[in-house]
Structure 1
Amino acid sequence: MSGGSVAAGPVPVVTDQGNLRGVSNRPAPIRIEDLVNPVLSPEIAQMMEQTAPMAEQIELSPEAVMAEATTRTGLSDFGPDGFRGPLEVLCRSLDTEADHSPMGRVSSFNQLSGFAANRLRIEQYIKDHPDALEVPVNRPIVIAGLPRTGTTHLHNLISADPELRSLPWWEAMEPVPPPEEAGTTEGRIERAKSGLAILNTAMPHYARMHEMTWDHVHEEIHLLGIDFSTMLFDCMAVMPSWRSYYKEQDQTPHYEYLKRILQVLTHQRPPRERWVLKSPQHLEQIGPLMNVFGDATVVFTHRDPVSITASFATMICYSARMSATHPVDVHGIGQWWAQLIEDMLRSCTDDRDLVAPEQSMDVLFHEFMAGDVAMVERIYDRAEQPFTPKVRAAMDAYMVDHPRDRHGRVIYDLTDFGIDPAERRKSLNFYTNRFAVQPES
């Protein structure tokens, strides 16, 4: 998952895609030593201090979130009301359970009201263009895998195909522009660049873990956020009430709203209709995913879950410096995510066969890394998507411009979070045995 706003876990980083094409000057690996007591730049520390008075005025309630969205947009029709129940639980959990700093509280409110504003504009677009809901969303290629399993690289490679439709970061943040920018993209792109520039200053090492840029292909988890029911909100804070509610609810209606948004996006920027999608959420929502996208080709990515737990816990805790109180409870956050990862892998193991063999593939990380473009060609064969010389050239060009680890690596250690690697390996044997996953340590 990639990841969001400051309060939403992993945060993308602005980089210059024209630089660092070679690997000879690759930075040396680092260990992030300030997870517990973050060292912030003076400008970020000042920004966090300035949010304290604002946080005291924030009301985390559905009414306040929706009112703010209406003020921003001048609109009031939020469309189908299935979002109201999840939003109520989410606001209450954020208000009573999240260990948020003032910056975290302000960021949470801004993110929720941003989702609500996007929803208002989407519903207005449908009123203005009712034929948008006639646009097909056929045979998407869906990548389902935990972060750090190669999903981002695979997503980027496939999205390099000019015949497929993907979701750039700027469009994920604002699917529909404000009326004065109708039919354009420049305003949304500039706002995406500005926001990411601030976050890059706050978290200069994030590119080592998960590089993203304003035009970088993004996962649809932010679109699911517009219906206020998605595991993206697990990244905002440790919120047991929210997690329990989310897991108990059938997510099919929220996947149906995701399809509604994809129809709007395709209508705005035709003609490509076949989407490439990606989110770790799909691992524990295979049933709802297939209920709505029954003709999808689903690619499941697999990697040593012990290594994944270490790297993902590091990403979440590194991001928490902007949203959590200091010192950051890295043990609590890390152990919470260790359990969430186990839960997701159990769901994947239990429900994997809900997708027919002719519509699915299992991709092991070590095999993908040994031949990434060749693996994509195999996926295309399963998905019945043409793998032409033009497609291969586009993917080869992407590989040249984006060598692996070009920003350097981070050294991960589960003991940073009070987690015993041997215990994790034993607890996760059900998954590694089921999918023949190779251990990495």
Structure 2
Amino acid sequence: MTHYYHVDPLTTAGDASGRYPGNHVKYSKLLAPVRWIDNTKKALTGSSAFNLTKASLKEFDKPGDLHPRWGSANDIRVLRDCLEMFATGLDNNPHISSIGRMLIKTVYLTYLRNRTEFIEFFEENAEFIEANGKYKAPLLVTGYPRTGTTLLHRLLAEDPQSRSPYTYEMEQVLPPLKSGEDPMISDRIKKSAASINLLAKYAPGFIQKLNESHLWSATEKEESLLYMQFHHGMNIANGVQAGLEYALRLAQPDVAPALLKYERNFFTMLDAYAPAGTHWINKAPSYALYFGSIFDEFDDARVVVTHRNPAKNAASFARLVESACIPFDVEGSIDKHAFGQMVVEFSGLCWQRPLEFRNAHPERESQIIDAVYSDTFADPIAMVRRIYEKFEMEVTSEFEERMKVYLADNQQGKYGRHRYSNEEYAINAEDLKARHRDYFEKYGFDTQPTHDD
């Protein structure tokens, strides 16, 4: 397997197999100067006008030496090294387009500035935040992507006694919501939505394709740990464009301590100013990569682990990640077969890590419950009831009514159908089962999944 999933598009021109797809995003002509600027810079200096590494590390270092509440010096260094690997992997990838480089640099530097501003705000208000903020016994939803995590998270977040972050709270961090403030009239919604609308305007097809598999909206509840990665200038989706070495490095357990401490501080801050009634609910497939570390940082966490047959699900995740990556790539440079293999290589850890931890730590089972995809979608409210019963929580009549309204307003396929197959990504179900036999057998999955899987 090569470091990148790309090929030279000149060698595949005219191929009708679908293995080397074109970009579904058609960029506005108003972005043409971006190519001219980048090409001129490359001609004069040999490097892109939108290189990421130097600017990213400079922003990461701005807060200076951090208080131990953010992690040890070594923990912080691990994150910085990961950021450098991400940025240099992208800078060295010859198959990222000029517009792609410009957008990636703009987006990730914006998130890094969020980190700088948040750390400075926290340190200035640490006494108040730590005296008033609580992040106790969070209810965390994790599992391999495309296994029902989003549905469960957003249903659980309908509990009026819970608190879960809106997208805009993590994209436009300051000022935090205040207790009693209507979250639906925050000025930050417009700012957050503006970036989404800008992509929709100048990169038509980008947001629409993403929404077929995951609705991205300023006022939806969103993935916590994903945004904590964003705040550190990197993530796992665009990570495959930075290369397999980076994707596997980000998945290592030693990345978790500082990342989870940052998350604790972030939600302690939100809670200090607008507290949860009884508990916080957060969701992120990435928690599965760091499963043991969840309990190191959040000893009292209650964890829902979602599951879906890998023989069906691996290709679904590959399609989701492809829709997030291909807009930044040079037209025709993506090799779906190599892409599928890369995605499976690093993300298969989401199946194995929770299983291995649970086998080694049966004493944690009282804090963990499984949610299989077919059961969740057959009766989502029944699954929520099972989760609440497990953790001795109450499903109130108001909560149940709100879940019914949510389900009626968000029926599957509302924003388009997400279509995929193992064949297009060269994913072999028998090979998957051979590599992850204990997982397949644990949950009774077969290599010939049914429609409900």
TM range (shorter): 0.7 to 0.9
Residues 51-100 of structure 1, C-alpha deviations (whole Å, 9 max, x = no match): 32455322322x42355689xxxx85584561433322322222224732
CA separation in 2, counterparts of 1:112 and 1:206?
18
2:45 is aligned to: none
Asked if 1:109 is matched to 2:105, the reply is yes
CA separation in 2, counterparts of 1:259 and 1:36?
41
Relative to structure 1, the CA distance from residue 226 to residue 303 in structure 2 (aligned partners, 3 Å threshold; closer, same or farther) is: closer
Residues 118-159 of structure 1, C-alpha deviations (whole Å, 9 max, x = no match): 112112221332121342210111111112111111011001
TM-score by length of 2: 0.80
51-60 or 144-153, which moves further after superposition?
51-60
Relative to structure 1, the CA distance from residue 287 to residue 127 in structure 2 (aligned partners, 3 Å threshold; closer, same or farther) is: same
Identity in percent: 20
106-115 or 52-61, which moves further after superposition?
52-61
1:35·1:321 contact (CA, 8 Å) conserved in 2?
no
2:24·2:327 contact (CA, 8 Å) conserved in 1?
no
CA separation in 1, counterparts of 2:340 and 2:228?
25
1:19 is aligned to: none
Asked if 1:269 is matched to 2:254, the reply is no
CA separation in 2, counterparts of 1:412 and 1:146?
17
1:364·1:437 contact (CA, 8 Å) conserved in 2?
no
CA separation in 1, counterparts of 2:341 and 2:331?
18
1:151 is aligned to: 149
Residues 202-242 of structure 1, C-alpha deviations (whole Å, 9 max, x = no match): 33333222223221110113432256387535545151232
2:420 is aligned to: 412
Asked if 1:349 is matched to 2:355, the reply is yes
Relative to structure 1, the CA distance from residue 431 to residue 319 in structure 2 (aligned partners, 3 Å threshold; closer, same or farther) is: same
SS at the partner of 2:212? helix
CA separation in 1, counterparts of 2:298 and 2:87?
29
1:193 is aligned to: 193
Unaligned runs of at least 5 residues, structure 1 = 1-32
CA offset at residue 409 of structure 1? 2.0
Identify the match of residue 49 of structure 1 among 18, 24, 32: 32
SS at the partner of 2:329? coil
1:192-211, aligned counterparts within 5 Å?
192-200=192-200, 201-203=204-206, 204-211=208-215
CA separation in 1, counterparts of 2:249 and 2:278?
34
CA offset at residue 335 of structure 1? 1.4
CA separation in 2, counterparts of 1:167 and 1:311?
26
1:126-165, aligned counterparts within 5 Å?
126-130=122-126, 131-134=128-131, 135-165=133-163
CA offset at residue 313 of structure 1? 1.1
2:369 is aligned to: 361
CA separation in 1, counterparts of 2:399 and 2:337?
45
SS at the partner of 2:236? helix
2:385 is aligned to: 377
Asked if 1:122 is matched to 2:118, the reply is yes
Paired residues in the alignment total 399
CA separation in 1, counterparts of 2:311 and 2:124?
49
CA separation in 2, counterparts of 1:300 and 1:59?
38
345-354 or 383-392, which moves further after superposition?
345-354
SS at the partner of 2:154? helix
Asked if 1:245 is matched to 2:249, the reply is yes
Asked if 1:284 is matched to 2:289, the reply is yes
CA separation in 1, counterparts of 2:189 and 2:157?
19
One-letter amino acid of the counterpart of residue 411, structure 1: R
2:141·2:149 contact (CA, 8 Å) conserved in 1?
yes
Identify the match of residue 50 of structure 2 among 20, 43, 58: 58
One-letter amino acid of the counterpart of residue 101, structure 1: S
CA separation in 1, counterparts of 2:83 and 2:244?
15
TM-score by length of 1: 0.82
SS at the partner of 1:205? helix
Asked if 1:329 is matched to 2:335, the reply is yes
Relative to structure 1, the CA distance from residue 170 to residue 197 in structure 2 (aligned partners, 3 Å threshold; closer, same or farther) is: same
2:24·2:205 contact (CA, 8 Å) conserved in 1?
no
SS at the partner of 1:404? coil
1:40·1:202 contact (CA, 8 Å) conserved in 2?
yes
2:225·2:284 contact (CA, 8 Å) conserved in 1?
yes
CA separation in 1, counterparts of 2:303 and 2:94?
34
One-letter amino acid of the counterpart of residue 342, structure 1: G
CA separation in 1, counterparts of 2:397 and 2:192?
33
1:87 is aligned to: 83
Relative to structure 1, the CA distance from residue 128 to residue 358 in structure 2 (aligned partners, 3 Å threshold; closer, same or farther) is: same
Unaligned runs of at least 5 residues, structure 2 = 1-17, 39-47
265-274 or 75-84, which moves further after superposition?
75-84
One-letter amino acid of the counterpart of residue 36, structure 1: P
2:161·2:276 contact (CA, 8 Å) conserved in 1?
no
Asked if 1:225 is matched to 2:237, the reply is no
Relative to structure 1, the CA distance from residue 302 to residue 233 in structure 2 (aligned partners, 3 Å threshold; closer, same or farther) is: closer
2:292·2:354 contact (CA, 8 Å) conserved in 1?
no
Supply the RMSD in Å over aligned alpha carbons.
2.9
163-172 or 80-89, which moves further after superposition?
80-89
Identify the match of residue 166 of structure 1 among 150, 164, 167: 164
CA offset at residue 366 of structure 1? 1.1
CA separation in 2, counterparts of 1:227 and 1:189?
18
